[in-house]
Structure formats: structure tokens, C-alpha cells
Structure 1
Amino acid sequence: MARILVVDDEIGIRELLSEILYDEGHTVELAENAAQARAARLRARPDLVLLDIWMPDTDGVSLLKEWGAQGLLDMPVIMMSGHATVDTAVEATRIGAVDFLEKPITLQKLLKTIAAGLARPVITPALAAAARMPDRRNDQAQPLTTGPIPDLPAPVVDRNHSLLGSITLDQPLRDARDEFERIYFEYHLGRENHSMTRVSEKTGLERTHLYRKLKQLGIDSSRKRNAS
């Protein structure tokens, strides 16, 4: 699952997108303006950004240009707007946005666009320049090549088709993911002595969303309140 930054000055839009994305298993960070978006981007690069065009301080297109100029546009950015022109959408795409969503956003369109954005490789200006740069070792231009991709290690699966001996793989993906998340959060709760503040920092979830996620997974909330 992905870490997604949602940037929108409308609280209703932020909350709606947050609920949908959390239900899909993503980690979500929210920003209501460009200043908060900058801070979130510097703390940790998100896997994808949903960026509103019209905001009170700095509009989304200007923020997109700023990230591009600073070499920070190394994640897919999907622009959102309820009243942008076609020219604005085209300009945002030219600057570096991977797609554009028109409000009101349908659930199917949102999830489809996010999935496509996460699957799409991001070509940054620096990477594009490096690909065009000639190899000076032989005093002539050489194509940019890479070595063979190493084989990824296979997951540890026992004879009962259980991942790490605890998660059975013979079940629907959502159930397997819930089992993993339950183990994941119980691990961090134990490691951090049930301090919700430290668990929130470790997992990257806001406390409100952390409580909601633990409740959804059926992890005893009364124990966490007593231990926090």
C-alpha cells in the first residue's frame, strides 16, 4: 500500500478522500494549504500526491512548478479541481502532473486514477537529463544502460502456505492484509510500550486515524487507553 498526501483547502474533501484511501489500505497525510504540503513533502516523500489547484495562499500549479524547480517532483502528482479550464489541466500535465481529476470525483475514477499513477514511473528532470547525457569515457555518446535486475528474494512461506508461519495465503487479499496489519500494529504497540504517540510516529498515522484503524482491526482499544 502507498503513502498518499492529500492537499486541499476544503475540509470536507480532505476527510472524504482520507476515509476512502484508508479503507483501501493506504497511509494518508493531509494538508490544507501549500505551506503544510511543503512541510509534509520535506518530512518524507509520499508515493503519490493529490493536489488541489485552487488554494488561498499558493495555488496547486505554482506549488507543482516550485517542486519541479527544486528537484522535489520525484513522485506522481494528480491535480484536482472543480472549475479549472482545459488549459490549466494541460499546463499542469506539461509541468509534471501525471493526471487530472475533475470534482466532484467519483469513487471509481479516483481509485482507477490513483492505481494508474502509482504504477507509472516518474521521470524527473534530473533523470531525464542524465539519460540524455553522453558517456565521456569513450568520447562519444553512449546509450544509458542498466545492469541485470537481481532476482527478488521469495517470501518466507511454510508448508501450510503461511507467510512467516502466521498469515495464511489461501484467503482473499483483504483478509490477508488485515491479518498482516493486525500483526504489524500489535508489534509496534508492544515495542513502544503501548504509547499511542510513539506508535503514531512510527507508523506514520495521525492518532485519530490510528485509533480508527485499531478499532477496525479488532485490537482491544481499552488496553491501549490504559497503557498510553
Structure 2
Amino acid sequence: MERVLIVDDQMGIRLLLKEVLEEEGYTVKEAHNGELALHMVEEWTPDIFIIDMKLPGINGLTLLKELQSSSRLDDAYVIIMTAFGEKEQVEAARQNGADYYIAKPFDIENLKSVIGKLSEEG
């Protein structure tokens, strides 16, 4: 487990996560929206997806459903991030393949710990 795709429209978050995860030895790619993420997974298969729920265009939940229906999540883990701790959204994400939920602003050490656990499980 070493390939991570970060899908977030906030460049600062993508850059922070990419830097931290690359220091941990992961291969990291990033997408600023759901459309780009769907295009990327046609040629590159992440082991872990980190997806923001609030994205322009295709939102995080729709992206999750698309990935699920195309069997892109069969051997991958999904971490959902959102500043909006709405129970319905989180539950819908879990029903569509999300393994973990992280609230923004997030603790980077906690996120690293979750990703480390997922890597060991895979």
C-alpha cells in the first residue's frame, strides 16, 4: 500500500498532504476536482483515496459512487474529509465505500496514523 490520490479543491491542503505523505514514503498524486480524479484512475490505481466531500462539479459523494460502480474501490481504501460534519453525508459516504471520515481542520498526525494503519492492512 503506497499509492495515494488526494482529491481536494484547496491547493494548500493538497500540497501539505502531498509533502507529508511523500516524506512517509508514499507515492502521491493530486486532483483538484472529481472529474480529474476519474480521469486519473483510468491509468493509475491508488491504494488509498483521500477525498474532500465538497468539490466543484462532481462532489465527493458522487465521485465515491462513480469509483464504486466502476470497481475502482475494490482493493482501495477511502478517507473522506469534510468541514461539514453532517451525519447524513458521512453515513452516505460510508454506504458507498468510505472507510474513514476525517473532519476539517484535521490533525495531520491523526491522518498519518490512519493512513499508516490502512497501509499495514493492505
| Distance in 2 of aligned mates of 1:116 and 1:88 | 24
Q: Distance in 1 between matches of 2:117 and 2:64?
A: 19
CA offsets 1:5-31 (integer angstroms, 9 cap, x no match): 000000011111111111111111010
Greater strand content:
2
- Superposed, which structure 2 residues align to 1:1-228 within 5 Å? 2-74=2-74, 75-120=76-121
How many Å separate the matches in 2 of 1:10 and 1:65?
22
**Any idea what the Cα deviations from partners look like across 1:76-110, whole Å, max 9, x if unmatched?**
11101111302211111111111011111112211
Aligned length: 121
Q: Is the 1:7–1:52 Cα contact (8 Å) retained in structure 2?
A: yes
With the length of structure 1 as denominator, give the TM-score of the two structures.
0.51
% identical aligned pairs = 34
Judge conservation of contact 1:7–1:37 (CA < 8 Å) in 2: yes
Larger Rg belongs to: 1
Query: Residue 48 of structure 1 aligns to which amino acid in structure 2?
Result: I
Q: Which one has a larger percent helix, Structure 1 or Structure 2?
A: 1
Moved segments of 4+, more than 2 Å: 116-121
- Where does structure 1 lack aligned partners over 5 or more consecutive residues? 122-228
Give 1:67 deviation, angstroms.
1.3
**C-alpha distance in 2, partners of 1:8/1:104?**
13
Between 1 and 2, higher relative CO (CA 8 Å, sep ≥ 6) is seen in 2
Give TM-score scaled by structure 2 length.
0.92
Q: What 5-or-longer segments of structure 2 have no aligned partner?
A: none
The Cα RMSD (Å) is 1.4
Distance 1:65 1:119 in 2: 25
